[in-house]
Amino acid sequence: MKIFYLGIWFFKAKWLKKRNPLQSVVFISNQCNLRCKHCNVVETLHPLSRTFKEIKEALLYCYQQGSRFVDFEGGEPLLWKDGEKNISDLVDLAKNIGFFSTTVTTNAQLPFGHCKADSLWVSMDGLQHFHDMIRGEGSFEKLEENVKKVNHSALNINMVINKHNYVNVEETIQYVQASPYIKQIALNFHTPYKGTETLFLPWKEREETIDLIIRMKKKGYSVMNSVSGLKAMKKNNFPKHCWVTNFVLADGTHLTECAGKTASICDHCGLCMAGEMYSMFTFKPDTVWAGLKVRM
């Protein structure tokens, strides 16, 4: 059923120009237990947390729009509760609605072995010194402690590369490769939302870092990004297909595309999914294969 739906969706998107989302990012709260230097989401004074009913309405809306994959994000989604309900109840809800798979992205500061999501993404911004510099002292040690307690076949790392931690990319990829707990790593670059511009990695260093990632991927390291998608991100001068993902923010706002478009920072985008989407729509075989491995 999944492959049939994906084929029909792609046909409509490519040749009939239908702009229906395939995946959704639902921010269930903007409450967090860290204060990361790059974050533009967390609300410290008046944090919001969606109710189970509100999240159900958001999921039904996304499903009706055509989305079949959902990522629950925050803030820190593991902090979310509504009465006795926790993050796994939202996973069950999404699957009951009909979503093919669910993802939870966490900073791994809390135990998360109970989470029933099909895939788990842990945000890790380099090894200890670099991660702690961005997310706070002791956060890397806590991350390692909680990751070791999780027995999940699709536990992955997401690294956002900025002007401080780009020198640690090679070691981080090697760390992921050596870990018995982690399946793969996805790499993105810092997108300079207002107030975080100083973290933007200059283009020359971005190109050099992408060349390094490509070399490591070709050597067999467990990098999720496709080579074609990475190459597109070097110059970032390709047509964007960011409507493939829709977003529901913690305040209930619905976005049909990435918030970067509203913020007018697409020219400095570091979200490598943009390169993956472009490469998919231009029929790059390695990107299509990488996407199928993640989604199937």
pLDDT at 295: 73
User: What is the chain's length?
Assistant: 296
The CATH number of 22-295, from 3.40.50.1820, 3.40.50.2000, 3.20.20.70, 3.40.50.410, is: 3.20.20.70
pLDDT tens digits, 49-87: 999 999 999 999 999 999 999 999 999 999 999 999 999
Give dist(CA 71, CA 144) in Å, integer: 22
Q: CB within 8 A of 226, min separation 6: which ones?
A: 276, 279, 284, 286, 287, 289, 290, 291
Contact 193, 263 (CB under 8 A): yes
CA distance 154 to 172: 18
pLDDT at 43: 67
Quick one: pLDDT at residue 71?
98
pTM score, whole prediction: 0.95
Mean pLDDT of the chain: 95
258: amino acid identity, one letter? C
- pLDDT per residue over 29-50, tens digit each? 999 999 999 987 776 668 899 9
CB contact burial 270-282 (16+ within 10 A = b; e otherwise): bbbbbbbbbbbbe
Per-domain residue ranges for the chain? 22-295
Quick one: which of 243, 186, 245, 253 has its CA closest to 213?
186
> Average pLDDT for consecutive 10-residue bins of the chain (296 residues)?
92 96 97 90 80 98 98 96 97 98 98 96 98 97 98 96 98 98 98 95 98 98 97 94 95 94 92 96 92 77
